Amino acid sequence: MNFQSLFYPKAIAVVGASRTPKTVGNDIVKHLCTQGYQGNIYPVNPKADELFGRKVYPSLNDIPENIDLVVIAIPAKFVPGVIQEAAAKGAKAAIVISAGFKEIGNHDLEKELAQVCEQNDIVLIGPNCLGIINTENNMNASFAGLMPEEGNVAFISQSGALCTAVLDYAQDLGLGFSKFMSIGNKASVNELDLIRYFAQDPKTDVIAMYAEQLENAPEIIKVITEINHSEHPKPVIVLKSGRTEAGASAIASHTGSLSGGDAAYNALFAQAGIIRANCIRELFDYAQILARNPLRQAKNVTVITNAGGPGVLVTDEIVSHDLVMAKLSETTKAKLKTFLPEAASVNNPVDVLGDALADRYEQTLQVVLEDENTDAVLILLTPQSVTEVEATAQVIIKLQKTAQKPIVVSFMGKGTVWPGVKLLREQNISNTEFPEPAVCALAAYSHYVDWTQAETEKPLYFDDVDRQAVAKIFAEAKKQGQTSFPEAQAIEIMKAYGFPILESAIAHSPEEATTIAQRFGGQLAMKIVSPDILHKSDVGGVVLNFTAKNAAQKYSEMLATVASHQPNAKLEGALMMQMAPKDGVEVILGVSKNPGLGTMIMFGLGGIYVEVLKDVNFAFAPLTRADALRLIHSLRSAKLFEGARGQAPRDIEALVECIGRLSQLVTDFPEIVELDINPLLSLAQEKGSLVLDARVVIE
Amino acid sequence: MNFQSLFYPKAIAVVGASRTPKTVGNDIVKHLCTQGYQGNIYPVNPKADELFGRKVYPSLNDIPENIDLVVIAIPAKFVPGVIQEAAAKGAKAAIVISAGFKEIGNHDLEKELAQVCEQNDIVLIGPNCLGIINTENNMNASFAGLMPEEGNVAFISQSGALCTAVLDYAQDLGLGFSKFMSIGNKASVNELDLIRYFAQDPKTDVIAMYAEQLENAPEIIKVITEINHSEHPKPVIVLKSGRTEAGASAIASHTGSLSGGDAAYNALFAQAGIIRANCIRELFDYAQILARNPLRQAKNVTVITNAGGPGVLVTDEIVSHDLVMAKLSETTKAKLKTFLPEAASVNNPVDVLGDALADRYEQTLQVVLEDENTDAVLILLTPQSVTEVEATAQVIIKLQKTAQKPIVVSFMGKGTVWPGVKLLREQNISNTEFPEPAVCALAAYSHYVDWTQAETEKPLYFDDVDRQAVAKIFAEAKKQGQTSFPEAQAIEIMKAYGFPILESAIAHSPEEATTIAQRFGGQLAMKIVSPDILHKSDVGGVVLNFTAKNAAQKYSEMLATVASHQPNAKLEGALMMQMAPKDGVEVILGVSKNPGLGTMIMFGLGGIYVEVLKDVNFAFAPLTRADALRLIHSLRSAKLFEGARGQAPRDIEALVECIGRLSQLVTDFPEIVELDINPLLSLAQEKGSLVLDARVVIE
């Protein structure tokens, strides 16, 4: 997609330009004309002559030159026609503000719009959107009135109305944007297209978005993993609404799109390395810290504070967010002691006391920045009567310029600390009004840095699978209209993909029983094979718990017993089976489809606890080894697998292999819509795992 | 305690008054003299003549009249002496600003201070505090410079330095205080004393506090339960730091006090009906909503918004916080349809669309307030170009005056919506900058209202316990220096308190075996009783799984078998025991002591899951029935007890009884420091529960 005409047009036409103030068609022309955009602007309206000092044209056709971008705010049904006209005038980009498409059920009109754009090679934003802003060329092609500061954050919103509030919040924070996008119904251009563009955009360092529904998880994972491992990683922060069923149905009612379960989005974000903001404030806190600090390790945090209580509060937060209170080196402590008062604490949190002036903050920050055990610094300030709010801000600004470590600040309070806060914001220092959110943001930042440093892995792949065998089973089933595969058939499919199964084979003589039993090893069971016997156990046709040693004897005994009970039955032999070990932990391994996003592998604690504890995790196929390990280790009951209370640790490698084989199976056969291995028995280390039961459903 | 002299003194002396600006001793005199306090002020300093227009006295003794309150800011070691002098001048209250007591290890000096105050009947605030403010008489007896607005929130802080930030935040929110207290080391007056006072204070409706450590959970529970069930319930909101081990150790290092585990505080807050704020912002959000709305049911929430996206975000929050999206009545929807545009949504969230002016908000709010299914209303506003920010605020202010339902507002944004926000704050309407925290606050509010309406209950009590028997066991043990009671003895203690135990008795004949078996019922086991036999099972001396029907036969068989193996052994009979049912769920029931707070009962999922899932809850003894039910039903695995996946529901009443009996036991015998019933077997409904093993340790 060519976004040049969209973001850097030399000539823009606005179709639906209006003379009536406070209408969309009036606002857009006003914002284009009055906020510094230097290209040519052509308002189009058959009934007007002039608007904001620009000549108004009766139609696109009347414009004297070719245009690059057309902005459209007229009734929906006329939009596709106007796109045709715009194409004839050379337009390569369109922003459709008009509502009245998918969101009210007009799916066909929306499809038509997308097609017309595609045929004419036009990049389409919208319909049903607020427009876009490019701060680099002061182009506000939207009906949001506030032109944001220039900055390094690209913002994308699926909700138009939210945008005006976002611009307002950002202005107060001094947070600038590179591009600001309302993308509406996403008939053509969606978030992923824009992310791809922003990954290359030199003006953008951070991508933030509000999303209600996303599509194609595997592609999102691929693109963002690439960005996170590129030379210039750009964090993607997503505020995703519709976490709850009620929220999802509210989305459906106002945008006409289905969002799907939240577990799928959590899986997607974890796999892709997307930072999830849980509320609007977090979106800003995360954007701020990432936009205002270079990407550096931030695990070990040192706190500098002039108040004990807030120091304790952030200590709690640091530990709760999986960060670490840095252990200051002895050298650092000794240095701090040379200038801090005796009552001060030289341990972390470093309490510089309520009477600390700017110089004491400066000396302390200097020493802490040099501490070898400190990755990041959090500075707290409460406004005591002697506190030098502005001078302290200046000191932080000065030291941050050369600091190789992230610094986050919370000047606590409002009016009293405002002069300092203003300085910090102007100089791009991350400051939060309350101290706890600073930690939360630091944790997101640290987590992101970890992602960029994690090794990239290929999806798990096994070359010993028999893809043809499964293809054949499915092909035959489809011929007969069969979609569901009960245990016996499902086990065949599992076998073909190399899953560990309890072995079974039919013995036709005592000698063969021994041979099979020796091959299988361990504890065995045996069932009579006869077309004439329905209830095997009633006639003594089931024998449990024997080994190879007495297999022949058990075989003979069983056949004799059955024969005595049912003399006329034709006895064909005995089905010999391995017995499941008793010390296995039951887990569940399955498949779950998310409409739009893709196919997920589900892994969790099995048995009664599936329902009671709902301790399951998801990841989209295909999975890497890291994904598989995350499925296991982020269970609440993970300790059960790592060896709890004297129980042997489980064979994690065997679980990873099962997860990987399932990932490969569902990737090879997208027609699989349901698949449950329940239970999968997880055995002790080096003992493997065992599929005890499975069930498969195809489309 | 008589707080009159503390809060409403006619004459105040300030010992340690200083001429040096920006010192504590100077600030306090300045704040008393310049912020409107009308009583007499006597600065005391041997080296000064005049301060802020007031005569300075060389000593307390030189003051011409009696004083009510003395504020002290001189080196710690001189403080007790000054208190004596102040007492001689009639002082009945003292605020000790001076540091240098417990927090640096000077426990003796702190004890001396408290004693001197007690002997002289002086109410003591501090030491090591910032002072106090009473807005009613404009008395700022602190070194915090900002005099807050008068309001209905009483604030108590264990951290002095935090206070200045709190005053600053509150000023911005327009949130007023009745009394504002920094209580420092709490050598005498603590939070609970002040809560008791504020419960009676007509100026106070809400009590908010920052606490690092509290004491005496049972008393706190008693006092606050009373307040919550009084005619004028006053919510208590606590921001408790030291949630994590690292946080608790940060507290210890700066205040010298031990905080103890956070589970104890969660238990305390749930039992007492205290609202826990998890961060400073929440403290303000909760204080605001509770201070600005009458206490009414708020479970069913209706959202009015001019933006779809934020509507979805708060829908998620409402559902996640156990509130309900109100189902608007058909009448309400019909009424809304008469004036809302077609594209608007008349379902909840009610989307009045981006072009809504104040009148549309007014009509909608009016209709929603009348809706019979709506308990509370959340109003969202994003600043679109036509939005009437101030007029909409005015409309809300007008309707709130007569509304019988709580209304919370979020005008989203900063500068653009500020004129409206200002109006809302001035008129005491709860407004949050971001929409999600408004829901969180509404949930806290709703939860509190539920507490005030819950029935009050007496602690669980059983009159069939044999207190003397346990007293005797403990007395004998103490005599012998025994503190630990292994299974057999522990079971005796359990028996005395009426816990259900597996029955056992010795049979001396086949007939007696039958009689006993009939009495016990169910599945039984039997072990040989003989002084000569060590390994019972080796000689056939253990028989499992029989019933009364064949008890006599099993008895005879066992004795014969044992006799044949060991002809010379003296056989005295058989120990008959009930066998534990197989379908029980193992739980753990125990006791945990928190230094300072008291004794807690612990209840949770037993077996391997204790360690893996740590799914346990706590409550302080003595427990009510509601407390016991909460212990069970707020487990993550609660479904296991309520009947999951075909399993029969457990006998909840039997569990409540066991919890109650344990609560009574540890209340009767405070010397019990450890007690574990593990496992306690929870059986199916009406089948009871069974103590299988127990362990007791006393001091």
Q: Which pLDDT score, from 0 to 100, does residue A524 have?
A: 93
Q: Which pLDDT score, from 0 to 100, does residue A260 have?
A: 58
Residue A470 located in a structural domain = no
Count CB atoms within 10 A of the CB of residue A674: 16
Q: Which of B244, B262, B316, B411 to mutate to test the interface with A (most CBs of A within 10 A)?
A: B316
Name the domain boundary from B290, B306, B331.
B290
- Over the range A337-373, which residues count as b (16 or more CB within 10 Å of their CB) and which as e? eeebeeebbbbbbbbbbbbbebebbbbbbebbbebee
Average pLDDT over residues A131-151: 96
Q: How confident is the model at residue B581 (pLDDT cuts 50, 70, 90)?
A: confident
Encode pLDDT of A355-365 as tens digits. 999 999 999 99
Residues of chain A with pLDDT > 90: what percent? 83
Same domain flag for B213 and B346: no
Encode pLDDT of B362-414 as tens digits. 999 999 999 999 999 999 999 998 999 999 999 999 999 999 999 999 999 99
| pLDDT above 90 (res B166) | yes
Q: How confident is the model at residue B295 (pLDDT cuts 50, 70, 90)?
A: very high
The residue of chain B with its CA nearest to that of A636 is B613
Encode pLDDT of B609-650 as tens digits. 777 888 899 999 999 999 999 999 999 889 889 887 677 899
The more confident residue out of A441 and B615 is: A441
Residue A205 located in a structural domain = yes
Q: How confident is the model at residue A441 (pLDDT cuts 50, 70, 90)?
A: very high
Residue A479 located in a structural domain = no
Instruction: Show the beta-strand stretches assigned E in B370-463.
Output: 376-381, 407-411, 430-431
Same domain flag for B80 and B205: yes
Q: Among A130-139, A249-258, A560-569, where is mean pLDDT lowest?
A: A249-258
The more confident residue out of A693 and A619 is: A619
- Over the range B547-578, which residues count as b (16 or more CB within 10 Å of their CB) and which as e? ebeebbebbeebbeebeeebeebebebbbbbb
At A372, list the tokens. Answer: 């070898």
Q: ipTM of the assembly?
A: 0.91
Name the domain boundary from A552, A579, A606.
A579
Same domain flag for A564 and A442: no
Encode pLDDT of A329-357 as tens digits. 999 999 999 999 998 999 999 999 999 99
Q: Does A645 touch chain B (CB under 8 A)?
A: yes
Q: How confident is the model at residue B253 (pLDDT cuts 50, 70, 90)?
A: low
What is the radius of gyration, based on Cα positions, of chain B?
Answer: 33
Q: How far is B249 from chain A (nearest CA, A)?
A: 9
Same domain flag for A337 and A426: yes
Q: Determine contact, residues A331/B262, Cβ cutoff 8 Å.
A: no
Q: Do B168 and A316 touch (CB under 8 A)?
A: no
Residue A183 located in a structural domain = yes
Q: Which of A612, A614, A642, A647 to mutate to test the interface with B (most CBs of B within 10 A)?
A: A612
Same domain flag for A282 and A405: no
Q: Which pLDDT score, from 0 to 100, does residue A499 have?
A: 97
Q: How confident is the model at residue A503 (pLDDT cuts 50, 70, 90)?
A: confident
| pLDDT above 90 (res B259) | no
Q: Which pLDDT score, from 0 to 100, does residue B107 have?
A: 95
A167 vs B contacts (CB less than 8 Å): 413
Residue A496 located in a structural domain = no
| pLDDT above 60 (res A256) | no
Q: How confident is the model at residue B313 (pLDDT cuts 50, 70, 90)?
A: very high
List Cα–Cα distances, B591 to A525, B298, B468, B560, in angstroms: 47, 36, 21, 46
Average pLDDT over residues B182-192: 96
Residue ranges of A 223-242 with Cβ closer than 8 A to chain B: 239, 241-242
Residue ranges of A 292-321 with Cβ closer than 8 A to chain B: 306-313, 315-320
Encode pLDDT of A121-133 as tens digits. 999 999 999 999 9
Q: Which pLDDT score, from 0 to 100, does residue A249 have?
A: 80
Average pLDDT over residues A153-160: 96
| pLDDT above 80 (res B487) | no
DSSP state of A232: S
Encode pLDDT of B436-479 as tens digits. 999 999 999 999 999 999 998 999 999 999 999 999 999 999 99
Q: Letter for the amino acid at A370?
A: E
Q: Which residues contact A196 (CB under 8 A, 6 or more apart)?
A: A223
Average pLDDT over residues A627-651: 89
| pLDDT above 80 (res A449) | yes
Residues of chain B with pLDDT > 70: what percent? 98
Name the domain boundary from B290, B314, B333.
B290
| pLDDT above 90 (res B489) | no
Q: Which pLDDT score, from 0 to 100, does residue A246 have?
A: 85
The domain of A153 spans 4-290
The residue of chain B with its CA nearest to that of A307 is B161
Q: Which of B142, B164, B333, B605 to mutate to test the interface with A (most CBs of A within 10 A)?
A: B164
Residue A458 located in a structural domain = no
Q: Which of B162, B171, B255 is nearest to B209 (CA)?
A: B162
Average pLDDT over residues A540-562: 93
| pLDDT above 70 (res B21) | yes
Check which CATH number belongs to the domain holding A410 and give it.
3.40.50.261
Residues of chain B with pLDDT > 90: what percent? 84
Q: Which pLDDT score, from 0 to 100, does residue A258 have?
A: 57
Q: Which pLDDT score, from 0 to 100, does residue B258 have?
A: 57
HSE-CB of B285 using CA atoms within 13 angstroms: 26
A281 vs B contacts (CB less than 8 Å): 433-434, 436-437
Residue A491 located in a structural domain = no
A-B CB pairs within 8 A amount to 256
Average pLDDT over residues A667-694: 93
**How buried is B536 (Cβ within 10 angstroms: 0-12 exposed, 13-18 middle, 19+ buried)?**
middle
Q: How confident is the model at residue A428 (pLDDT cuts 50, 70, 90)?
A: very high
Average pLDDT over residues B688-697: 91
List Cα–Cα distances, B420 to A101, B289, B389, in angstroms: 34, 18, 5
Q: Do A309 and B27 touch (CB under 8 A)?
A: no
| pLDDT above 60 (res B683) | yes
Same domain flag for B138 and B271: yes
Query: How many domains does the structure of chain B reveal?
Result: 4
Residue ranges of A 593-632 with Cβ closer than 8 A to chain B: 608-609, 611-613
Q: How confident is the model at residue A618 (pLDDT cuts 50, 70, 90)?
A: very high
- Per the prediction, chain B carries an average pLDDT of 94
Given the structure tokens 């009348």, which residue do they identify? Answer: B370
Same domain flag for B409 and B508: no
Same domain flag for A573 and A606: no
Q: Does A244 touch chain B (CB under 8 A)?
A: yes
Q: Which pLDDT score, from 0 to 100, does residue A502 have?
A: 87
Q: Does B258 touch chain A (CB under 8 A)?
A: no
Same domain flag for A247 and A319: no
Q: Which of A106, A313, A379, A440 to mutate to test the interface with B (most CBs of B within 10 A)?
A: A313
* DSSP-assigned beta bridge partners for residue B574: B507, B528
Q: Does A463 touch chain B (CB under 8 A)?
A: no
Check which CATH number belongs to the domain holding A608 and give it.
3.30.470.20
Same domain flag for B25 and B63: yes
Q: d(Cα A304, Cα A396) in Å, to the nearest integer?
A: 12
Check which CATH number belongs to the domain holding B507 and give it.
3.30.1490.20
Residues of chain A with pLDDT > 70: what percent? 98
List Cα–Cα distances, B619 to A171, B278, B306, B594, B629, in angstroms: 48, 20, 45, 11, 11
Same domain flag for B535 and B680: no
Q: Which pLDDT score, from 0 to 100, does residue A486 have?
A: 77
Q: How far is B246 from chain A (nearest CA, A)?
A: 6
Q: d(Cα A218, Cα B324) in Å, to the nearest integer?
A: 35
Same domain flag for B360 and B388: yes
The more confident residue out of B694 and A440 is: A440
Q: Does B568 touch chain A (CB under 8 A)?
A: no
B99 vs A contacts (CB less than 8 Å): 343
Q: Do B414 and A171 touch (CB under 8 A)?
A: yes
A343 vs B contacts (CB less than 8 Å): 99, 104
| pLDDT above 90 (res A647) | no
Encode pLDDT of A522-550 as tens digits. 889 998 988 888 788 889 999 998 999 99
β-strand pairing of A573-578 with A524-529: antiparallel
Alpha helices (H) along B245-322: 245-255, 262-272, 280-292, 308-320
Which helix (H) or strand (E) element contains residue A586?
strand A585-594
Q: Among A351-360, A564-573, A635-644, B44-53, where is mean pLDDT lowest?
A: A635-644
- Per the prediction, chain A carries an average pLDDT of 94
